[in-house]
Chain A
Amino acid sequence: MLKRTPLYDAHLKLKARIVEFGGFEMPVQYTSVIDEHMAVRTKAGVFDVSHMGEILVEGEKSEEFLNALLTNDVASLNNGKVQYTIMTYDNGGAVDDLMVYRMDENVFFLVVNASNKDKDFEYIKNHAPAGVKVEDVSQDYAEIAVQGPDSLKFAEKLLGPMNIGRFCFKILNYDGATLIISRTGYTGEDGLEIYGPSEAVVKLFYGFVEAGITPCGLGARDTLRFEAGLPLYGHELSENITPVEAGLTAFIKFNKDFCGKDVLYRQIKENEGKRLIGLRLKEKGVPRQGYRVFFGGEEAGSVTSGNFAPYLKEYLAMALVRLPKDIMEDYVGRDFEIEIRGKRLKAEAVPKNFLKALRSKK
């Protein structure tokens, strides 16, 4: 049985096309993926992301416990701040990537991928020592994301002054309900993610739409995160793809112990494993997950995500490849090929944060 978010009726009213995602019936688009994508790059868009899972971890040893499960350093996270991190297995593979909110000294709010939520919850609970309480609170929270250069302006009209720094959050009263609002997102643009009880979040969603923000579906969420070079679990990260391979070394802290630390350390020091690279096609074609990638005429790996990037107007791919060790740090600008429907098309390696790297050249 597929689940529905509290905003399901709103999606139908707004004539969304509904698809299955992570066990939920979710809107993939309302009008057009590209129009919604461009609205977020140039103005603002609002997304229902209530399918995301929320897990509460609390108790005296929570910090120490989470630091042993997550690659980033929870100890450096102050109250009121948010941290992107990866949960790893002993072999360095990723259980999931997630956001950690420090609500209090010993209270952490974890936001995880919908399709991984049950697995994550089991994994965290099974590792938890006595005195640390792990609770799946996903049912208690609806979530919307407001993203784009104008998103804060719109939010202030409905919610009052925001005054939230990047990767910070605050607790706010709205319509008798308590909301968690963070200056975070998954689009490469400025914006907010808002968590709270169903009724208040639904009301806020309608409020944003009436104020003129474009409702956006999961189609645009995917093209936006892809164009910004952000990883998606199951594509750029998985049980078999480590955060080092995925290029997420900035979110791994080796000043502490955590699952898989040795493997990740060796992958960096010895240039072991594969690496995630960005590719820009020099010919027209749409790369898709699984398409083969060639370097120097030899098969080097495969595409993890690929598409036409609507704002940059380029055909782009992220690809996981095995490279000769001497060029692992120096692949940008080199020639690759992507096999698209039986034809090998020419591509050039580019930094995988496409938006940052290519936006100025537009």
Chain B
Amino acid sequence: MSKIPKNLLYTEEHEWILVEGNRGTIGITDHAQDALGDVVYVDLPKVGDKIVKGETFGTVESVKAASDIYAPVSGTVVEVNEALKDSPELINRSPYDEAWMIVVELDDESELDELLSPEDYENILEGE
């Protein structure tokens, strides 16, 4: 059973977001990294880039396949986890901690209402 921390919000496409004030830290879930297999490459936006809720903002590639990453919210990128460029395997090892991907300044906090609670996300995984 994959890990689903209680302090995060989730998307159906298996991203998570940790909200602190008007900032959100974004990554992909334990389930997502497990399904992908060994991650060997990550493409992320730059500081200052805009991301739009529901649209792709990056790519994760494993030895088996490439997968898009979707923005859980709209906002402006204020931090990028540069460590992932040289150590993409962190995504497999520590999806919720060391392998955070970007921090964004939220455009519209009401978008958070549309995200999945940990319980909702768990139900989705069980249905898969």
Contacts and interface: CB of A to CB of B under 8 A. Distances in A.
Interface of A: 28-29, 32-34, 219, 223, 284-286, 288, 307-308, 310, 315, 341
Contacts of A307: 40, 63
Interface in B85-106: 85, 89, 92
A34 B63 contact: yes
A284 B37 contact: no
Contacts of A33: 37-38, 63-64
30 contacts: A32-B37, A32-B38, A32-B92, A33-B37, A33-B38, A33-B64, A34-B38, A34-B40, A34-B63, A34-B89, A219-B63, A223-B63, A284-B41, A286-B40, A286-B41, A286-B66, A288-B66, A307-B40, A307-B63, A308-B40, A308-B61, A308-B63, A310-B38, A310-B40, A310-B63, A315-B40, A315-B41, A341-B43, A341-B59, A341-B66
Interface in B51-88: 59, 61, 63-64, 66, 85
Contacts of B63: 33-34, 219, 223, 307-308, 310
Given A286-B66, A341-B59, A219 B37 contact: yes
Interface residues of B, number: 13
A284 B85 contact: yes
Given A34-B40, A308-B41, A315-B40, 17 more contacts: A29-B37, A33-B37, A33-B38, A34-B38, A34-B63, A219-B63, A219-B64, A223-B63, A284-B41, A286-B41, A286-B61, A288-B66, A308-B40, A308-B63, A310-B63, A341-B43, A341-B66
Of the listed residues B63, B66, B89, the one surrounded by the most CB atoms of chain A closer than 10 A to its CB is B63
Contacts of A34: 38, 40, 63, 89
Interface string B1-45: 000000000000000000000000000000000000110110100
B62 to A, nearest CB: 8
Contacts of A308: 40-41, 61, 63
Contacts, number: 39
A29 B92 CA distance: 15
Interface of B: 37-38, 40-41, 43, 59, 61, 63-64, 66, 85, 89, 92
A308 B66 CA distance: 12
A51 to B, nearest CB: 18
A285 B41 contact: yes
A33 B41 CA distance: 15
A33 B65 CA distance: 12
A285 B43 CA distance: 9
Shortest 10 CB-CB contacts between residues of A and residues of B: A308-B40, A34-B38, A286-B61, A33-B63, A286-B41, A33-B38, A32-B38, A33-B37, A223-B63, A284-B41
A285 B61 CA distance: 9
Nearest to A34: B38
A310 B38 CA distance: 10
A28 B43 CA distance: 25
Contacts of B85: 284
A285 B40 CA distance: 9
Contacts of A32: 37-38, 92
Contacts of B61: 286, 308
Nearest to A285: B41
A294 to B, nearest CB: 20
Nearest to B34: A17
A243 B121 CA distance: 51
Contacts of A219: 37, 63-64
Contact of A28 (B41, B59, B64): B64
Contacts of A285: 41
Contacts of B38: 32-34, 310
Of the listed residues B41, B85, B92, the one surrounded by the most CB atoms of chain A closer than 10 A to its CB is B41
A357 to B, nearest CB: 20
B88 to A, nearest CB: 9
A12 B43 CA distance: 34
Nearest to A35: B38
A284 B85 CA distance: 9
A223 B40 CA distance: 12
Nearest to A288: B66
A214 to B, nearest CB: 15
A44 B125 CA distance: 35
A224 B97 CA distance: 31
B33 to A, nearest CB: 11
